[in-house]
Every structure is written in C-alpha cells, then in structure tokens.
Structure 1
Amino acid sequence: MAFASSSRVRINNLLAISRISNAFRLFSTTPSRPDFHFDTHHFVQRLEREGLNRAQAEGIMSAMAEVIDESIRNMTSNMVTKAEQEKARIHHYTQQVDFAQIKSELQLMEKNDLAMIKAENDRLMNDIEKLKQRLREEITRTQAGVRLDLNLEKGRMREESSGQELKIKEVDTRIEQEIAGLRTTIQASKATTLQYLVGFVTGCSALLMAYMRFRA
C-alpha cells in the first residue's frame, strides 16, 4: 500500500513536470531537441504499468527527456567552460613564461647595451683626452712661435730704431757742418764787406779833403 502511495506521488510529480514542460514549450522560441539519452519506449511502458494512459506517459517521457537533455547541455557547457578556463590558465601561464623570458632577454640586452655604452663612453673619453693633449701641445707650439715672432719683431724694430737714430745723428752732424760752413762764409763775407766799406770810406774821405783843399 505504501509502495502504491509513493508511486502515485512520483506519478503526480512527473505529471506536474510534464505540464510545466508543455507550458514552457508553448512560450519557448527555441525548438526542442529530438535526441533522447535513455530508452523512451521502455520508460513509457513502465509509466503505463503504473496506471497512466499513453498520452500522459509520453508527456512525462518528453518532459524527462528535456530535463535530462538540459542537464546534459549544462554539464557539457560547464565542461567546456572548465576546459576554456584551463586553456586560458595555460595561456596565461605561457604568457607569464614568455614575459619572464622576454624580461630576461631585455635585462640581458640592457646589460649588453650598458656595457657597450660604457665601452663607447670610455673610448670617447680617451679620444677627448688625446684631443686635449694635442690641443695643449698645439697651443704650446703656437705660443712659442708667437713669442719667437715677437722677439724677432722686437729685434728688427730695435735694429731699425738704431739705424734711424744713426741716420738722425748723421743728419744732425751734416746740418751742424752746414751751419759751421755758413758761419764761416758769413764771417768771411763780413770781413770782405768791412774791408770794402773801410776802403770806400777812406776813398770818400780823401776825395772830400782834396775837394775842400781845392776850394781853399
């Protein structure tokens, strides 16, 4: 009796599920899948043995098939999702590994670049020091050449100044000689003129005395 009661409860539950499934099919836009994952004929016969008619048994069978199919689809979806998650995790791990490798390569490249830059900087500093040394030597040679030229120019100017002073002295000497000659000539001219005047005055005096004597 208890078994019949429990069977009746299960049948009522299945009928309720069937009615809900049928109502859902009325409002659903997606057609139901025809694939079944159990022996539907055997299940219908068992329901008929429980006291259901053919239509009720098939309705319950369809509802159960849809529930089972939906459960299987959900399980498959979850499995796919887990697989995708695993794939994403593997991809993320691969990206992390790739990133670590890239980071290592970048660090190695950075070290190599720094070493190359340091070597290039050392070479440039060495070249700069060589250029500074060459410039200092060139400046020293130039200063020595300028000093030599200045000394030579000073010597030449002193020689020219000495020559000019000598010429000036010669001109002064010649002028003094000319002046002395002019003085001598003037003195001689004065003496000659004085002698001429004395002679002239003497002659005039003699003539005047002779004239006065003649008048007397």
Structure 2
Amino acid sequence: MLRTTKLLRTPTAVYPWPALPLRRPLHSSPAPLAHHFFDSADYVHRFEQQGLTRQQAEGIVDALENIVQESVNNLESNLVSRTEHYKHHDRQKVDFAALKQNLELSERTDFMNLKAENERLLGDIERLKQKLREEISRTQAGVRLDLNLEKGRIRDEMSTREGKLTEVDTRIENEIGLLRASMEAVKFNILQYAFAVMSGTGALLLAYLRMFAN
C-alpha cells in the first residue's frame, strides 16, 4: 500500500476523470450493490503506460472503484425512494387540508366571536343610552323643580318687597301731608305776625304824622 502511494505521487500526466452526478433521480427500488462508473480496463492500460505494473494498476483501479462505490452508496443512502416521496407528499396534502380546515374553522369561530362581541357592545351602548336618557330626564325634572322653587321664592320676596315699598310710600305720603300741614300753619302764623307788624307800624306812622302835624 505504501508503494502504491509513492507511485501515485510521482509526476505523471493528468487524465480527466469521469464526472459523477451530484444528484440522482428518485428510485422506487433499492439500487444494485455494484456499478461500473468507468472503464477499469482502460484505466489499467493507462496506468501501465505510466510505468506501473499490471498488478499495481489493477490495485489502484480497484481502490478507485471501491471509493466511488462507497461515495455513491453514501449519496444514495441520503436519498428518498419514490414511494416514500409519494407518501410524504400525500401526508403533506392531508396536513395542508387539515390546516386549511382548521384555519377556516378558526376564521368562522373568530367571526362568530367578533359578531357576538359586536352585538354585546351594541347592547351595552343601548343600555348606556337608556341610562343617559333617564339621567337627563331626572336632571331636567330636578332643574325644573329648582327653577319653580326659585321662581316661587323670588315671587314671595318680590311680594314682600312690594309690601314694604307700599308701606314706605304710605309713610312718606303721611310725612309729606304732615309736613304740608305744618308748613301751612307756619305760613298762617307768619302772615298773622306780618299783619300785626304792619298794623303796629301803620299805627306808629299815623301817630308820628299827627304829632308833626300839631
């Protein structure tokens, strides 16, 4: 084996190796155990032309075939058979149908819940409107009662004030009447006093004139 490795490391002409397929199509039955991926006799002949013995060339070709076969087997072990692919596809279809059904059911459930919630909210709004109308009616009734009471109180107060004003007017008129009577009496007294003064002054003047006349 060491000898073979040394021979491989000697500079030789490079020959193109056949390209292996990266992926193989799906298969429905297990692959056979052995495959011929290249012409082994041709490669043995090429190695002999490079200076190797036939035994060495056949050993190298056998090793290459084993390596390629092992690589292909590892690659095929990771592939899925056609039957398993169809089963997986069918399971995916069933899962997708179940998911679609669940989504539709969830959508219908959400719609029904949303509809019920909307109806509940509408009912709450109607109850709030009714309660608001009742509160407004009670408030208006209370305001009307307060206004009527205030009007009655204002009327009573106005009546009381009008009575007081009438009493004050009557008192003022009485005072004015008394004042007028007092003024008339004073005027009469003044006239009497003036008449007495004028009479006395006239008498004195006549006496004075008589005295100068004699």
| 1:164-203 alignment, distance < 5 Å | 164-203=161-200
Gaps (5+ residues) in structure 1? Answer: 1-16, 27-54
Per-residue deviation, 1:184: 0.7
Q: Distance in 2 between matches of 1:202 and 1:25?
A: 191
1:101 aligns with 2:101: no
CA-to-aligned-CA distance 1:178-205 (integer Å, 9 cap, x gap): 2111111111000001001111111122
1:114 to 1:202, Cα distance in 2 relative to 1, 3 A: same
Gaps (5+ residues) in structure 2? Answer: 1-38
Q: Distance in 2 between matches of 1:106 and 1:88?
A: 26
Task: Report what 2:140 is aligned to.
Answer: 143
Per-residue deviation, 1:140: 0.7
Query: Which of 70, 74, 84 is the matching residue for 1:87?
Result: 84
1:156 to 1:25, Cα distance in 2 relative to 1, 3 A: farther
Q: Distance in 1 between matches of 2:115 and 2:43?
A: 79
The TM-score normalised by the length of structure 2 is: 0.63
Moved more, 157-166 or 144-153: 157-166
Secondary structure of 1:196's partner? helix
Per-residue deviation, 1:147: 1.4
Query: Which of 42, 48, 72 is the matching residue for 1:20?
Result: 42
Q: Distance in 2 between matches of 1:78 and 1:206?
A: 175
Moved more, 153-162 or 194-203: 153-162
CA-to-aligned-CA distance 1:89-144 (integer Å, 9 cap, x gap): 32232222222222222222222222222222222211111111110011011111
Question: What amino acid sits opposite 1:183 in the alignment?
Answer: R
Question: What amino acid sits opposite 1:162 in the alignment?
Answer: S
Task: Report what 2:127 is aligned to.
Answer: 130
Q: Distance in 2 between matches of 1:162 and 1:24?
A: 142
Q: Distance in 2 between matches of 1:207 and 1:25?
A: 196
The TM-score normalised by the length of structure 1 is: 0.62
Structure index of larger Rg: 1
Question: What amino acid sits opposite 2:98 in the alignment?
Answer: Q
Residue identity over aligned pairs, in percent, reads 45
Question: What amino acid sits opposite 2:180 in the alignment?
Answer: R
C-alpha RMSD of matched pairs (Å): 3.7
| 1:146-157 alignment, distance < 5 Å | 146-157=143-154
Task: Report what 1:209 is aligned to.
Answer: 206
Question: What amino acid sits opposite 1:21 in the alignment?
Answer: Y
Aligned residues: 171
